[in-house]
């Protein structure tokens, strides 16, 4: 039997359980976490993907592991540890608002040295970002992996995915370092408000570009569309118009659509890539919670416009 090839796309960061408040006041639990969402969408879109993180050994961890396996994530990258689950209370869905419950939880016990031998040689793109980079010793270990990957000539994808914990001054050096080594950075308008408080979007983007002059930047603005920034060239695209259920996970879907498009369709022109990203994000918005669209679902959404 032929051994399974190691993945081209490796995503580092948190997985957690989203406890989402419903309109009737009840709560619904779903597996989530920005980085895990990115990985799951990448796998569902057809890229061989590994989610490199740790989850608990209880029912919450089981649900994350099972959903990842169903999406096609490489199981060799997921670590199970005897620690409490990481929980996000999603108190609002429009827009998403979070309260995180996560002291000494499973995600913090991730050990990079346990990853499969040869994973870095096989990988094309390494993703690091989100809340994991604001969580104590885990952040240091993930930055070390990103630096190692950059030294090995790999492309680094970075989504800061701003959260309240990143207002702590200790996060800023991590953010600036990750921006400086990233090849691809995704930010939303809300991210820019948090990362560069008091600056207008144009000035905040300029500040980000000063930190990362060589990086491509995907700038998402929800219903107002998205832009791809390459040096001084800016390419804009509208959002797909759909009936929005919620926007939880749409940014993660955009990130995975961007990277998967580069890996699966390197010949695709940039305007078509942006249209594809918009379709994947819109498909995610049509479902409750952090949904992972397939390529076929995104294509179906675009068919009426063809």
Cα distance between residue 187 and residue 195, in whole Å = 10
Strands (E), 190-281: 216-220, 226-230, 233-237
Contacts of 114 (CB under 8 A, 6+ apart): 79
DSSP 100: E
Residues 238-295: pLDDT tens digits? 999 998 888 888 999 999 999 999 999 999 999 999 999 999 999 999 987 788 999 9
Is the whole model's pTM more than 0.85, yes or no? yes
Token pair in block for residue 142? 């993930």
Structural domain harbouring 233: 9-293
Number of domains in the chain: 1
CATH of the domain at 110: 3.40.1190.20
Q: Is 302 a domain residue?
A: no
Q: Is 300 a domain residue?
A: no
Q: Is 1 a domain residue?
A: no
Q: Is 141 a domain residue?
A: yes
Residues 189-198: pLDDT tens digits? 999 999 999 9
Name the maximum alpha-carbon separation found in the chain: 58
Q: Is 157 a domain residue?
A: yes
Instruction: Work out whether strand 78-81 and strand 155-159 pair parallel, antiparallel, or are unpaired.
Output: unpaired
Residues 102-143: pLDDT tens digits? 789 999 999 999 999 999 999 999 999 999 999 989 999 999
Q: Under the phi-then-psi rule, with left for phi > 0, alpha for psi from -120 to 50, and beta for the rest, what region is 129?
A: left
DSSP SS3 for 302: helix
pLDDT of residue 103: 84
DSSP 53: E
Q: Is 301 a domain residue?
A: no
């Amino acid at each position: 039997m032929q051994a399974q090839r190691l993945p081209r796309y490796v995503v580092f960061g948190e997985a957690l359980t989203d406890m989402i408040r419903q309109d009737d006041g009840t709560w619904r639990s779903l597996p989530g976490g920005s980085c895990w969402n990115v990985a799951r969408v990448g796998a569902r879109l057809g890229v061989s993907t590994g989610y490199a993180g740790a989850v608990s050994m209880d029912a919450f961890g089981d649900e994350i592991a099972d959903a990842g396996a169903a999406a096609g994530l490489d199981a060799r990258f997921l670590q199970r540890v005897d620690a409490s689950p990481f929980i996000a209370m999603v108190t609002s869905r429009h827009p998403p608002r979070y309260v995180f419950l996560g002291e000494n939880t499973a995600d913090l016990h991730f050990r990079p040295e346990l990853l499969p031998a040869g994973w870095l040689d096989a990988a094309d793109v390494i993703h690091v970002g989100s809340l994991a980079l604001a969580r104590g010793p885990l952040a240091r270990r993930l930055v070390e992996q990103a630096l190692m990957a950059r030294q090995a000539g790999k492309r680094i994808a970075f989504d800061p995915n701003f959260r309240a914990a990143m207002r702590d001054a200790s996060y800023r050096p991590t953010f600036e370092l990750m921006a400086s080594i990233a090849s691809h950075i995704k930010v939303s308008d809300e991210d820019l408000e948090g990362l560069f408080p008091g600056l207008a979007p144009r000035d905040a983007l300029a500040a980000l570009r000063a930190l990362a002059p060589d990086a491509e930047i995907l700038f998402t603005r929800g219903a107002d569309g998205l832009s791809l920034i390459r040096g001084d060239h800016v390419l804009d695209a509208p959002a797909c118009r759909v009936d929005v259920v919620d926007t939880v996970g749409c940014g993660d879907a955009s990130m995975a659509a961007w990277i998967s498009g580069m890996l699966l369709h390197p010949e695709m022109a940039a305007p078509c890539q942006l249209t594809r990203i918009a379709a994947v994000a819109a498909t995610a918005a049509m479902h409750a919670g952090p949904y992972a669209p397939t390529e076929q679902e995104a294509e179906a959404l675009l068919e009426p416009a063809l």
